[in-house]
Amino acid sequence: MMATYAIMSLDLNNMVNTAKIPAFTKKIFSTYSQDVTYHNDLHGADVMQVAYYMLRKGGLESTLKLSKIHMLSFLLAAVCHDLGHDGFTNSYHVNFITKRAID
């Protein structure tokens, strides 16, 4: 699993219990709704992969002089950014709330 590899590659042995990382990333992916067409676990993995690439190959890690905890936070934010997304757009939610306020 890419998420596990990305986190493990940060060499966090002294900061987190690395034995728990595979179960943790599996829990993240299982939390995404499978009924949502786009904002699902695959999208979370894609965003995390791009974040990892930006850190390691794009030079973000060295340019910003990021610590391991910053990189871990960046990757976790990337993979979790759409957890609980219901698949509807912002416009849908604004219209729904506006309609309820008027009614």
- Residue 48: per-residue pLDDT: 94
pLDDT digits (tens, 9 = 90+) for 34-58: 899 899 999 999 999 999 999 999 9
What is the pTM for the complete model shown? 0.81
CB atoms within 10 A of CB 6: 25
Q: Could you give the CA distance from residue 84 to residue 95 in angstroms, rounded to a whole number?
A: 20
The alpha helices in 32-89, defined as continuous H runs, are 41-56, 60-63, 68-80
Give pairs for 51-59: CB < 8 Å, separation 24+: 51/75, 51/77, 51/78, 52/2, 52/6, 52/78, 56/9
**Per-residue model confidence as pLDDT tens digits over 1-38:** 678 888 888 988 788 888 998 999 999 999 998 899 89
